[in-house]
Chains A and B, each alone.
Chain A
Amino acid sequence: MSDTEIQDEAINVDTEKGNFKYPESYAYDAGVGLNEDTIRYISKVKNEDPWILDFRLKALEVFEKKPMPTKWADKDLENIHFDKIRYYLAKGQQPSRTWDEVPDDVKETFERLGIPEQERKFLAGVEAQFDSEAAYSRMKEDLEKEGVIFVGSSEGLAKYPEIFRPYFGKVIPTADNKFSALNSATFSGGSFIYVPKGVKLKQPLQAYFRINAENFGQFERTLIIADEGAEITYMEGCTAPKFETTTLHSAVVELVALKGAKIQYITVQNWSSNVFNLVTKRGMADEDAEVKWIDCNIGSRLTMKYPGVVLKGKGARGEVLSIALANNKQHQDTGAKMMHLADNTTSNIISKSISIGEGRSTYRGQVHMPKHLKNCKNNTECDALLINTNSRTDTYPAITTRGENNTVQHEASVSKVSAEQIFYMMQRGLSEGEAMSLAVNGFVNDLMKAFPMEYSVELKRLIDMEMEGSVG
């Protein structure tokens, strides 16, 4: 049986995974630090319209004015040195269309990331992000025929301003928070997607993200618009190489689901344990539309991410399903926001976290129902599992309710894997580590089912890897 000595032993993070990097040969490099010149440089390299430059410069002003949120957030944020970060870096290449055009070293990176060849066959299009620009982008012809647009942020704003500009920065305004302002000033890369009326994508769209330059912050910008009755699933997964100094990742993801549309956004975040991952994600759901965030955080040093849904139209639905795994020296500060702005809207939040070693996981939530609304419902469940004696978990929800016939329920629980369970499994021949791993997989199993099959397989593998050595 486990004694506390074994339990207290530190957990070995598999730091080798994704621990590789290639010579830096960046054609465009905006240098280190952030000021107006950096912004002008980025905009010039990208050959942007003047309105985008204006947008960036205003955002820079907001960023500089906003204080760090350290009065409630992790003090670790103070260790980000904004003047030591590279804000833009690209291969200087046009986003490639065919696999042959992708440089060999990039291909090799993908090999090592383990995007299986056969997986690509099933996926409708793969947009893999190598550093800040899309290095590889392909869409199946039938998608193009249906009028689906799947491009990088720069290309989206340049080629399809009439589609993307009306919603760009509208779901998440620049001044939403300090890091959304930072992203608005420095964004590059990411995906802009438009799914026309009534088009239902059967296969998920997918993009892999990578960071591959020391001290280089990645500020991708994603905007997905599902027109009336359209349906789309988007998958985002990431892994980053290990570096000596910290890196900053600060994305902005905006989803727009028009009347009756459905958007499902899936993230598997596995940055290396030196990355600050400070992300703003929000969806807007119109009448009878549905926005669903499925979010899995395994990596990074500090993640702050609270996917939200603004339930703007009658009968809209919002959902956040999240799994967080905090290993030694990691802080997974995640949560969800549900803003009910119309009658008959419903939202559901299910959050499960696992803290291993000295890992810390935090849930922050906000549910808001103003007084003029009727028949709105929210359900929130947060479960935390603590593996070792020095693991930590926090829960900080905030719920405001008014109106007629609105109901909100919030439940949270904290527990450990019961000694009886472990004993039972060990009696049947499993090692303590295997038993613990099985118990943890059981804890997240019902959420795992919500992920597409290939992701849940990948996730199980990741959790097993993280659990390795957690119990001696």
Chain B
Amino acid sequence: MTTTLEKPLVTSTEEPKWLSERRASGLSLFNELPMPTARDEAWRFASVGRLSIDDYDVADAPSAATLAALDARSALIQSRAGSLVYVDDTQARFEPISAELAAQGVIYLPVAQALEQHPELMEQYFLQESTELGSKKFFGLHASLVRAGSVLYIPKGVEVSEPFVNYYWTSGERAAVFPHTLIIAEDNAKAAVVDIFFSETEENEALNISVSNILAGDGSNIFRKVVQDWNEKTVSFQLDTTVAGRSTEVRNLAVNIGAARARFENQARIEGPGAHVKMYSLTVAEENQDFDQRTFQTHNAPNAVSDLLYKNALLDNSRSIFSGLIKVAKGAQQTDAYQTNRNLLLDPTAEANSLPGLEILANDVKCSHGATTGNVDENELFYMMSRGIDKRTAMKLMVFGFFEEIIEQADSEELADSLRELIRNKFETKIK
């Protein structure tokens, strides 16, 4: 490999020993694990032949003008509890939480400041959950180079109604970025986080390897929403994990619009009974975009529910892979686990791959998965056209209806409208 990313990170401030060790072991993971091949089950159907992370550099700090310009463009959500903007992993904005929340013990900080101010908390949780879905190598690289990201800690019983909003921009040419999201919710805490991925222009080529770790304490309620709208020159890895305790409610919502190729690994591990985990994703793919989604719902405790709905709409020569697995461990009785993948093929050259899997080791469970792939329903189209709606409008209504099932889960009209707008920009002219 000729990538220049193997260089150890030189940090301005001295890092604690535990972190240097974690970075070093991350780097050795990256160096020792082989690049994925078509023969790896975790990469089945993936176009690994075209996967390359060569010739990217750890991003340089952008100019002050760029930082200011992109900060100004970070305006998707106005009402928020706190906000961070990064450009090429350099902080452009930090809007801290109110004094009131701080008094309740809420912590919301950029990774660097969290390391300085809360070393014990960070030592306990930072970089401790890796993906198990095939990209350990890239998790290793993230661990060795991460410097940007948000850390959110919500103490026992505290509920924050407004979301925390983080923007991650890429700007430099061949820049590699490593955004990190860490959410620690103590018992009965409640919070929502929105992570937004944007590119400065349509042309800047970038590599993203982001990691998100959610640790949801007993009875907590966490909602993480991700808007991924990189330009179509970006190679992206999103390696997300959730650990859910007793009686938690955790929701993950991902809207994926951008990137040349995007690998999205999302795993939820249920460790406490009565947990309720939902995973939603909507992907709109065009041209030669390649979306590779791997999910894992693990039930290690009884009486829990997990529900997954991944929808993909595919245009042109785009390609999607949905590979999901529900695993119900021995003794995880009274589990309800569902997994649904719906693919809408809007062009004959688009390709959808679906691998919905189940591994069930307990008998008193309700588990199901469904996968469908097809075109727009001719009967529905006919119905609308026979009522005087022209074909293009009818198609649009149906396609946006397909998206709406996910968008309406956003739980925020402001975000939902922004999402509709983003999708419309990309999509509307494409519908024939």
Contacts and interface: CB of A to CB of B under 8 A. Distances in A.
Interface of A: 71-72, 355, 371-372, 374, 384, 386-416
Contacts of A355: 363
Q: Which of B44, B45, B358 has the most CB of A within 10 A?
A: B358
A134 to B, nearest CB: 40
Interface string B358-369: 111111111111
A400 B374 CA distance: 11
Nearest to A418: B364
Interface string B312-356: 000000000000000000110100000000010100111111111
B369 A412 contact: yes
A304 to B, nearest CB: 16
Contact of B375 (A386, A405, A409, A412): A405
A126 B369 CA distance: 42
Given A390-B363, A392-B361, 14 more contacts: A72-B41, A371-B351, A384-B358, A386-B362, A393-B359, A394-B358, A394-B360, A395-B357, A399-B355, A402-B348, A403-B345, A411-B370, A413-B366, A415-B365
Contacts of A390: 330, 361, 363
Interface centre among A399, A410, A411, by most chain B C-beta atoms within 10 angstroms, is A399
B373 A394 contact: no
Interface of B: 39, 41, 44-45, 330-331, 333, 343, 345, 348-375, 378
A401 B352 contact: yes
Contacts of B367: 413-415
B330 A395 contact: no
A401 B355 contact: no
Contacts of A392: 359-361
Highest count of chain B CB atoms <10 Å: which of A393, A394, A402: A402
Nearest to A386: B363
A389 B363 contact: yes
A413 B349 CA distance: 31
A11 to B, nearest CB: 13
Of B45, B352, B361, B375, chain A has the most CB atoms within 10 Å of the CB of B361
A317 to B, nearest CB: 19
A396 B358 CA distance: 7
A396 B373 contact: no
A406 B370 contact: no
A414 B41 CA distance: 24
B365 A416 contact: yes
Nearest to B345: A401
A394 B359 contact: yes
A409 B371 CA distance: 6
Contacts of B343: 401
A397 B355 contact: yes
Contact of A388 (B352, B359, B363): B363
Contacts of A415: 365-367
A398 B353 contact: yes
A95 B339 CA distance: 54
A409 B356 CA distance: 12
Nearest to B325: A396
Nearest to A391: B363
Given A395-B369, A400-B45, A410 B356 contact: yes
